[in-house]
Amino acid sequence: MASDTSETDQWENVEVSRDGHVGRITLSRPEAMNTFSTGLAQDLDAALHTLDEDPDTRAIVVEGAGKTFSAGIDLSEHGDHEAKSEYEEWVTRMEEPFHTLTEMRTPVVAAAHGHAAANGIGLVAACDLAVADEGTQFGATAPKVGLFCMGPAVPLMNALNRKRCLELILTGELIDAETALEWGLINRVVPEGDHLETAMELAETMASKSPTAVQMGKRAFYEMVELDYDDALEYSNERFAALCTTDDAHAGIEAFLDGEPLSADEWPET
């Protein structure tokens, strides 16, 4: 894992830095278990957009400060609203990062530890890849407080099969990291404390490849999963043809045929 931070910025509720071509976002409300306050949700969304628009950022890692990844929505804000329209506006702001994660071009890896509950498990599911240390607990816990994880259910239903998604959201119970791996919610379980290093390694692996290919490929994936089989193949053909015309394809293929594949810093500038 790269250790030199070349660029650092900070919002009130998240910290943002970049190591080489990998951006890093840290949820920074450890005293509140990194729950989604309105401010954290807005800062997270802004940070994702900022790194996605940075041409030098090719992959992003999201982690949580302190003892946990994220324990869900900050319930202390519930009493700030009364009308249904006010609650709808409130929760829409909370779920905006879930939209952004699938619409942005840059791949994102969640590095989870402690607890990933309610909006925390939704964030893990919405990220493209996810790593967790072996002590992590995951759950759609909102029924325990009279609510329901409807927003987190959307990325969860895309990450899990129906029965497992329904078990999480209907029972509100926690599952451990090994179960989350078995169910397909995460990609790796690692020894306690190794979640960030492993997530950074995954991010650096993606960042070493063609940035144009990875970015176009991610966008194509999220388009194709919504299409019927034949339409998805037709769309993939169009996107692959477009990729073939790019500088990355020309340079990458030429280097491969010459026996010297391009390194991370040798890809054409976009």
Q: How is 41-103 classified by DSSP, letter by letter?
A: HHHHHHHHHHHHT-TT--EEEEEESTT-SB--B-GGGGGG--SHHHHHHHHHHHHHHHHHHHH
Q: What integer pLDDT is reported at residue 11 of this predicted model?
A: 87
Rounded to an integer, the average pLDDT of 77-89 is 92
Instruction: Specify the pTM.
Output: 0.94
Token digits for 213? Answer: 């290919």
Could you tell me if 13 and 66 are in contact, meaning their C-beta atoms sit under 8 angstroms apart?
Answer: no
Q: Could you give all domains of the chain from N- to C-terminal order, each with its CATH number?
A: 7-207 (3.90.226.10), 211-266 (1.10.12.10)
**Exposure b/e, 248-268, CB count within 10 A at least 16 = b:** bbebbeeeeeeeeebeeeebe
pLDDT at 266 over 90: yes
**Half-sphere exposure of 76 toward its Cβ, with a 13 Å CA cutoff?**
8
Per cent of the chain over pLDDT 90 is: 94
Instruction: Supply the mean pLDDT for the chain.
Output: 94
**How far apart (Å, rounded) are the C-alpha atoms in residues 37 and 13?**
9
**Exposure b/e, 222-233, CB count within 10 A at least 16 = b:** eebeeeeeeebe
Q: What integer pLDDT is reported at residue 10 of this predicted model?
A: 65
- What residues contact 210, with CB distance under 8 A and at least 6 apart? 248, 249, 252, 262, 267
* Of 156, 99, 109, nearest in space to 129 by CA: 109
pLDDT at 240 over 50: yes
pLDDT at 6 over 60: no
**How far apart (Å, rounded) are the C-alpha atoms in residues 89 and 231?**
35
pLDDT at 4 over 50: no
pLDDT per residue as tens digits for the range 49-63:
999 999 999 999 999
Rounded to an integer, the average pLDDT of 167-174 is 98
**How far apart (Å, rounded) are the C-alpha atoms in residues 123 and 85?**
24
Pairing of strands 108-112, 129-133: parallel
Backbone dihedral angles phi then psi of residue 258, each to the nearest 5 degrees: -85, -5
Q: What integer pLDDT is reported at residue 3 of this predicted model?
A: 39
pLDDT per residue as tens digits for the range 173-200:
999 999 999 999 999 999 999 999 999 9
pLDDT per residue as tens digits for the range 109-144:
999 999 999 999 999 999 999 999 999 999 999 999
Rounded to an integer, the average pLDDT of 19-46 is 97
